[in-house]
A and B are shown apart, each in its own frame.
Chain A
Amino acid sequence: GAVVSQHPSWVICKSGTSVKIECRSLDFQATTMFWYRQFPKQSLMLMATSNEGSKATYEQGVEKDKFLINHASLTLSTLTVTSAHPEDSSFYICSVTRGENEQYFGPGTRLTVT
């Protein structure tokens, strides 16, 4: 069965609104979660590393005030896209880490901003 879930799987929102995406680890407690973004015809790009109980670490060029990450518990991390714009339309994937070698991916969330 699925180890990582994401909700919603697909969301359409209007420009200027905020959208929250949830990433849940279903079978184990995850101290680290990664958030990735994929634009059409491109590979995944790491946005940020989410650590439980501490602030997320953002990659260069990713606006931390726009992409708010909250790793509130060992099984849940949320990504909030604030004041979304059409250029934020993308596919967002989270992954969770167990130990050093086990990596599990969520099914992804497709965001369309109109």
Chain B
Amino acid sequence: AQSVSQHNHHVILSEAASLELGCNYSYGGTVNLFWYVQYPGQHLQLLLKYFSGDPLVKGIKGFEAEFIKSKFSFNLRKPSVQWSDTAEYFCAVNEENYGQNFVFGPGTRLSVLP
């Protein structure tokens, strides 16, 4: 079965630090990849997605992610975080044939210190 792992449970950074959150998935076929953010008390919001094409994907709020097929990875990056980026971040994978579950990673909590 498909699984998604995220490397860190909780990341603490100071403002202006660079961010990289790891995401790995297990399925070997064609996948669609997503990063979502959830601010405290709010619902999920899409940060960025990858379906095909350029493996370097740019999303909202200065986030980007790189799909490395050989490593089954889709890491999220931001060069300089802000206090307002404090949130929970979820990586998710959906198999191309849409016949399987939409699988989420366990989430990484990001705390940015002012």
Contacts and interface: CB of A to CB of B under 8 A. Distances in A.
B102 A38 contact: yes
Contact of A46 (B32, B44, B51, B102): B44
Contacts of B70: none
Contacts of B49: 43
Interface in A75-114: 91, 93, 95, 97, 100-101, 103, 105, 107-108
B38 interface: yes
Contacts of B38: 103
Contacts of A41: 32, 51, 98
Interface residues of B, number: 21
B29 interface: no
Chain B residues touching A, majority SS? strand
B28 interface: no
A40 interface: yes
Contact of B44 (A9, A34, A40, A91): A34
A91 B43 contact: no
Interface in B30-76: 32, 34, 36, 38, 40-41, 43-44, 46, 49, 51
A101 B41 CA distance: 7
19 contacts: A36-B43, A38-B94, A38-B102, A41-B32, A43-B34, A43-B36, A43-B46, A49-B43, A91-B98, A95-B43, A101-B40, A101-B88, A101-B109, A103-B44, A103-B88, A103-B107, A105-B104, A107-B101, A108-B101
Interface of A: 9, 34, 36, 38, 40-41, 43-44, 46, 49, 91, 93, 95, 97, 100-101, 103, 105, 107-108
